[in-house]
Amino acid sequence: MADRVPFLVRLDPEIIAALRRWANDDLRSLNAEIEFLLRRSLLDARRLPSSTGGSGAGDPGGAGPGTGE
């Protein structure tokens, strides 16, 4: 697993609440949900090299909660 870099971000309370609900629906922590969504967005926009796409639980292409499989 790659090293994690702590990063503080300020978000609107409504966004945090929506992300928490989504994370709970997907059985993820809030942090994991945010990372999942960011990674998926970066891959969709082809801004993240495919070699760093990973194949773990947070991989948008893998089977898991919220992937529709």
3-state secondary structure of 30: helix
> Residue 29: inside a domain, yes or no?
yes
Residue 2 has what pLDDT? 75
| Structural domain harbouring 32 | 13-47
- Are 57 and 64 in contact, with CB atoms under 8 Å apart? yes
Residue 35 has what pLDDT? 96
> Residue 63: inside a domain, yes or no?
no
Nearest CA to 15 among 28, 29, 34? Answer: 34
> Residue 53: inside a domain, yes or no?
no
> Residue 7: inside a domain, yes or no?
no
> Residue 54: inside a domain, yes or no?
no
Record the pTM. Answer: 0.66
Domain count within the chain: 1
> Residue 27: inside a domain, yes or no?
yes
> Residue 40: inside a domain, yes or no?
yes
Residue 52 has what pLDDT? 55
Give average pLDDT by consecutive 10-residue segment, the chain, 69 residues: 88 98 98 96 91 50 44
Residue 54 has what pLDDT? 53
> Residue 52: inside a domain, yes or no?
no
